[in-house]
């Protein structure tokens, strides 16, 4: 697939996808979301890749779904076209970790995309929000569900009902963002984090991602049970023995992703 709206590169074992519609502040349209899904799946299947990063520009991660593409939609266009479901949620099927490296605006569908990544590293100029209410619509890609889980019902209601934007420090305090870094260090720091993850045993990385995500889908007892099954499964890997032996022998582990 030839990409028109994203840039794709690899940095050692990290796959980096840059949203690239600068004139529209990376507004997310169908074509971009198709390309993003395609690139994510390609990295997921690439045995040389251990972690992925999605980023945008310094001004905007993504300023939302493309309003120009939606303005004339009617109900049947949205329903028959399976709008959003058909290509916005590919990312949820990716098994390797995906980090959102966010500078500037992450609004509407852009904010929802960051929340579908595994975690968010924000530049100090990042701004998050769900301003759809100003367009007389609502978050349509999970924002009303993921935001309360990430930052509490009260803050989610505040953001969704007033359309106010939340800066990087507030987002970190609220728990949406895992770290805030200076804008000029965003990619350096994110790549360092991604490289650390990519140096771990990939099957165990995927088990941990799977187990943490299960916590959003299940009650505590079932979630802990699921974790326990994966914990036991990790003892079936070569890398578990290697990791533990390396610790005891005071040497770096040599993981083989098996």
Which residues are near ligand CO8 by CB under 6 A?
24-25, 27, 63-68, 84, 88, 105, 107-109, 131-132, 135, 139-141
Active site residue 112: yes
- Contact between 55 and 16 under an 8 Å Cβ cutoff? The reply is yes
* Nearest-approach distance from CB 238 to ligand CO8, in angstroms: 42
Burial class of residue 76 in the structure, from the number of CB atoms within 10 Å of its CB (0-12 exposed, 13-18 middle, 19+ buried): exposed
* Nearest-approach distance from CB 109 to ligand CO8, in angstroms: 4
Catalytic site residue from 65, 106, 126, 198: 65
Q: Which is nearer to ligand CO8, 15 or 109 (CB)?
A: 109
What is d(CA 85, CA 98) in angstroms, rounded to the nearest whole number? 19
Question: Helices then strands (H, E): number in the chain?
Answer: 11, 10
Catalytic site residue from 109, 129, 140, 142: 109
Describe the crossing of helices 109-116 and 143-151 by its angle, rounded to 10 degrees: 60
| Tokens encoding 44 | 């997921």
* Nearest-approach distance from CB 64 to ligand CO8, in angstroms: 3
* Nearest-approach distance from CB 154 to ligand CO8, in angstroms: 22
Q: Which is nearer to ligand CO8, 111 or 174 (CB)?
A: 111
Active site residue 65: yes
Q: Which is nearer to ligand CO8, 57 or 199 (CB)?
A: 57
Catalytic site residue from 106, 123, 132, 198: 132
Describe the crossing of helices 238-248 and 202-214 by its angle, rounded to 10 degrees: 100
Q: Which is nearer to ligand CO8, 141 or 194 (CB)?
A: 141
Catalytic site residue from 112, 143, 171, 172: 112
Active site residue 222: no
Residues designated catalytic: 65, 109, 112, 132
């Amino acid at each position: 697939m030839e990409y028109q709206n994203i840039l794709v590169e690899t940095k050692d074992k990290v796959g980096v996808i840059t949203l690239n519609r600068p004139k529209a502040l990376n507004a997310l349209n169908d074509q971009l979301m198709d390309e993003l899904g395609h690139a994510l799946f390609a990295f997921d299947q690439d045995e040389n890749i251990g972690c992925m990063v999605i980023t945008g520009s310094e001004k905007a991660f993504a300023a939302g779904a493309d309003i120009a593409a939606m303005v004339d939609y009617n109900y049947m266009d949205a329903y028959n076209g399976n709008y959003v479901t058909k290509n916005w949620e590919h990312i949820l099927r990716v098994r390797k970790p995906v980090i959102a490296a966010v500078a500037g605006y992450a609004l509407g569908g852009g904010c929802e995309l960051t929340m579908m990544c595994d975690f968010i590293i924000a530049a100090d100029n990042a701004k998050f929000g769900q301003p759809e209410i100003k367009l007389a619509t609502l978050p349509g890609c999970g924002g009303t569900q993921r935001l309360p889980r990430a930052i509490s019902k009260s803050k989610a209601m505040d953001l969704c009902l007033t359309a106010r934007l939340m800066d990087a420090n507030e987002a970190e305090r609220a728990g949406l963002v895992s770290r805030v870094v200076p804008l000029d260090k965003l990619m350096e720091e994110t790549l360092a984090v991604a490289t650390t993850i990519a140096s771990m045993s990939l099957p165990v990385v995927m088990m941990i991602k799977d187990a943490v995500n299960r916590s959003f889908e299940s009650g505590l007892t079932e979630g802990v049970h699921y974790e326990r099954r994966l914990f036991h499964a990790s003892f079936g890997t070569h890398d578990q023995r290697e990791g533990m032996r390396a610790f005891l022998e005071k040497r770096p582990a040599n993981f083989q992703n098996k």
